[in-house]
Structures are given as structure tokens and as C-alpha cells.
Amino acid sequence: MVEAFRGLRLGHSANRHLAIKERQRGFDEGTCVESFVLLNAAGGDCLEDFEPLRQDRALEQLIGHALPSPKAARKFLYAFHDSGKIEEAQQRLGPGASSYIPEESEPLGALARVNVDLVRELGRRCADQKIATIDLDDTIIESHKQEALPTYPGSTGYQPVVALWAEMEVIAAEQFRDGNVAA
């Protein structure tokens, strides 16, 4: 997974588009994104799952860097949050409405540009792929986080919409949504 990430130059893309670091020390944006890709590939589903990976010295040697602590990973993720965008969306709610989709924060828009770079590079490398079927799908991701909202089946969670380039099995675009926002 790390070899594919690096071969597609996604770390460079993240460093070019994302500008969320406040200081020079610590991981750059590309390394942070790579670490989250690795966490996901390893089956991690929460920030605390970084800890066992951080203890694996062979993994650190293999990838050439340590992984962020759960605290550092949380700080990186919080940089994508913009409370002002949420407040703006809530103020635009009509009478009786309870669901809204806030505009993306600048860091989230930058992360979407990293994904555009990925799709472009795959298109360039697979020029013989002449068909691009876009499969739109929404799915409910159950969550017990305090912020998670009720979904129509009654659980709490989120309901993102994903545009999948079916032939390449690659996400071309996505929109994260609260559980109470139907596709």
C-alpha cells in the first residue's frame, strides 16, 4: 500500500495542496496522509490503533519513518474541521429542517485536490481504459461517537455519498454527510 501511495506521488500531492502545519517540526502533510492510509490498510478504525503500529520497529524501518501518535493524528484531523462552515449551514436551515450539508473547509477541498491528482495519474497510466462508469453510492457507517446523528434505520452514524470509477475501482469523488442527511 505504501509503495503504491509513493509510486503515485500522493505524498507530494498532499504536501503541495495541504497547508495545515503550524510549525516546521513533526510530520509533513504527505507523511500524515500516508500514515492514515497505512492505518486503514492495517484495519485500524480509531486513532488509538496507531499505537500498536508505532511499537512495530520493523514497520518503521520498512516505511522509513515513525507513525504519528494518536494525539498528533487527532490534531492533524482537527485541522480539517471548520466550525464556521457548520454554523453557516445551520443558519441557512429552513423552517422545520434539521439536516444540512456544510461547505467544505479549505483543507478538505485541498484533500479533494489530492484525490483529483490520483484519478488523473491513474487515467494517464491506464490510457487504454476508455470507459469510466461512475457508480454513485451512499452507505450508512454506524458510529457511536457523541456527535453522530440518527440514520433512517435508527442507528447513529454517517451517510457519505461516493462516486466510484467502477472499472478502476477508485473513488473519483465523495461527500461526507451526517447520518440524518439522505443521499
Phi, psi of 56 (to 5 degrees): -85, 95
pTM of the model: 0.86
Is 163 within the bounds of a domain? no
- Average pLDDT of span 165-170: 95
Contacts for 15 with CB less than 8 Å, ≥ 6 apart:
28, 29, 30
Does residue 96 register a pLDDT over 90?
no
Is 7 within the bounds of a domain? yes
The count of domains in the chain is 1
Share of the chain above pLDDT 90, in %: 82
Q: What pLDDT was estimated at residue 37? A: 96
Contact in structure between 165 and 130 (CB atoms under 8 Å): no
Is 177 within the bounds of a domain? no
How far is the C-alpha of 113 from the C-alpha of 41, rounded, in Å? 22
Range of the domain at 35: 2-130
**Which H or E run contains 171?**
strand 170-175
> What is the average pLDDT score of the chain?
93
Is 82 within the bounds of a domain? yes
